[in-house]
Structure 1
Amino acid sequence: MFTDGPMIYKTYLKTEHSDENIEFWLACEAYKKITSQRKRTYVARRLFTNYIQSQAPKEINIDSPVKKAIIRNMQEPTESCFDEAQRIVYMHMERDSYPRFLESKFYQQLKHRLQTGSNISSVR
């Protein structure tokens, strides 16, 4: 529908105080493109500190076996070490917050503005 979709969805998630999921998902997409092992290690540690470890500032909801697998992979992070966590986060969004987003007043107003050609920046 629009190229700014992820950012619009993220704005909605902020209203629910659950934007950590889309932030983590997008960060994982960027992480997979890293070719330097040194940079991959640095970014993997930041992802772990911000989203994975217990009491992380933006801790995502993943199960213990996935968290333990990531901890094991932190010594030598690979391109795919966050794939399972990313899959779980995507599933949470797909089943929970995204359907709410589509039903939200926020999205309905946006859709109406797009259909009528109104200014999108005034959506709140």
Structure 2
Amino acid sequence: MCKGLATLPATCLKSAKDIKHKISFLLQKPEPQAVDQREIKERSATAAAKRLPDTTDVEKWKESFSHVMSNEIGRRVFTTFLKSEFSQENVDFWIACEAYKNTPPSKMAAKAKEIYQQYVEADAPNEVNLDAATRDKTRQEVEDGSSSCFDEAQKMIYTLMEKDSYRRFLKSKVIQDLCQKQTNCAPEKKGCNWADNRQVLAGGA
């Protein structure tokens, strides 16, 4: 130990160590604003997850597939249905493509490769149903670093869901149960079991 420090009282050395520890802690502590924003996002996500679809939601979903996909609860209910058909990868891929469009340019190449390996390439863990030409074109555009590399593949999967899965979704037990429970759970009726609706969202068709 340094001779100068050795002559200091033990209490002074302890105080110096405490101050150093506090400074280190403050440097590691996230900015209050960042913490607040994270908490707001988490609360919003939790609130959306708890919210149940109302009659207006369901009626809009019946009007068009775009209403389903543009509505957070609609996507959640549709995903529940796709799980029952073992085709959840389609909506997951579409959502991943939407998120990719908002990826910072510096991270796009890595993100594109990740999405391609997860959903597009042959024998991918969650391979979506694409024809060989679209798959090859997407691979080439990912390699070229194109920011629109998934546009064609995403459009194809969207059309597939709209023409195929969506039609079955409208006739599924998920929608039938929601419509029935919404009818039975009119505001003037008491004792309505909203837990049943949550079970519909969590379960299959």
Give TM-score scaled by structure 2 length: 0.56
Gap change, CA 1:40 and 1:122, over 3 Å in 2 = same
Query: Is the Cα–Cα contact under 8 Å of residues 41 and 76 in structure 1 kept in the other structure?
Result: no
Q: From 82, 88, 95, give the equivalent of 2:156.
A: 88
Q: Which residue of 2 aligns with 1:60?
A: 128
Q: Which residue of 2 aligns with 1:121?
A: 198
Q: From 170, 173, 178, give the equivalent of 1:102.
A: 170
The number of aligned residues is 123
Q: Which runs of 4+ in 1 moved over 4 A?
A: none
Q: From 88, 91, 104, give the equivalent of 1:19.
A: 88
Residue segments in structure 1 that go unaligned for 5+ positions in a row = none
Superposition deviation, residue 106 in structure 1: 1.6
| Structure of higher RCO (CA pairs closer than 8 Å, 6+ residues apart) | 1
Query: Is the Cα–Cα contact under 8 Å of residues 34 and 40 in structure 1 kept in the other structure?
Result: yes
Measured in 2, the distance between the counterparts of 1:115 and 1:41 equals 49
As a proportion of its length, which structure holds more helix?
2
- Of all paired residues, the percent bearing the same amino acid is 37
Superposition deviation, residue 58 in structure 1: 0.8
Secondary structure of the corresponding residue to residue 27 of structure 1? helix
Residue segments in structure 2 that go unaligned for 5+ positions in a row = 1-56, 59-70, 186-192
Secondary structure of the corresponding residue to residue 143 of structure 2? coil
Kindly provide the CA deviation profile for residues 5-28 of structure 1, in whole angstroms up to 9, marking residues without a partner as x.
001100110011000100001110
Secondary structure of the corresponding residue to residue 59 of structure 1? coil
Secondary structure of the corresponding residue to residue 51 of structure 1? helix
Measured in 2, the distance between the counterparts of 1:108 and 1:77 equals 44
Which runs of structure 2 are paired with 1:39-50 in the superposition (5 Å)?
39-50=107-118
Give TM-score scaled by structure 1 length: 0.90
Q: From 94, 98, 102, give the equivalent of 1:29.
A: 98
Opposite residue 16 of structure 1, the aligned amino acid is E
Measured in 2, the distance between the counterparts of 1:34 and 1:115 equals 42
